[in-house]
Structure 1
Amino acid sequence: MTLESLVIFLLIGAVAGWLSGVIVKGYGFGILGNIVVGILGAFVAGFVFPALHISLGAGLVGAIIHSTIGAVILLLLVRVLKRA
């Protein structure tokens, strides 16, 4: 992985984490937390979307949308588990 791709990877994670924190109210984790939530969200979506035969396309915008949806799913799961 080159330095450029690592920076893009981290920026996508940060944007996706921030967007998911805005969508799921009350979940802001700071810049590092948002990056982690966005990256974990990308992994969650990477498992869920192929199982449902969903493809969002390629490119930067597709990656951000993909990661954001996964991060929202992750935050909603965290919210449900906290209540239980």
Structure 2
Amino acid sequence: MGLIILLVVGGVIGWLASLVMRTDAQQGVILNVVVGIVGALVAGFLITPLIGGAPITSGHFDVMSLLASFLGAVVLLAIVNLFRRGSVR
């Protein structure tokens, strides 16, 4: 059950991050889920220890972990855009 919740939350976070970075038209549902989950992992290792709280991958959902996962997904999309186009947008 935890994996299904992680996929759904990762998909929503990835979709919201793609809307913020204006890459939603170029990505599909699967890539949104991948970006959300990888962003959550990046945030779990890098951002969450700085702001405190538990990573979303531990199954603990609170506002700080969701915000950190969203920031991780936005940073991941910015890095992908930088390599793909040479600019972040």
Taking structure 2 as the reference length, the TM-score comes to 0.74
Identity over the aligned pairs, expressed in percent?
Answer: 38
Give the total of aligned pairs.
Answer: 79
* Distance in 2 separating the partners of 1:14 and 1:32: 8
Unaligned runs of 5+ in 2: 55-59
What corresponds to 1:47 in structure 2?
45
Per the TM alignment, residue 81 of structure 1 is displaced from its structure 2 partner at its CA by 1.7
Aligned partner of 1:9 in structure 2 is: 6
CA displacement at 1:42 relative to structure 2: 0.7
Can you give the 5+ residue segments of structure 1 that lack an aligned partner in the other structure?
none
Match of 1:67 in 2: 69
> What RMSD, in angstroms, separates the aligned Cα atoms of the two structures?
2.1
Distance 1:35 1:60, change over 3 A: farther
Task: After TM superposition, give the deviation of residue 56 of structure 1 in Å.
Answer: 5.2
The two structures have a TM-score, normalised by structure 1, of 0.77
Distance (whole Å) between structure 2 residues aligned to residue 60 and residue 43 of structure 1: 16
Higher relative contact order (CA 8 A, sep 6+): 1
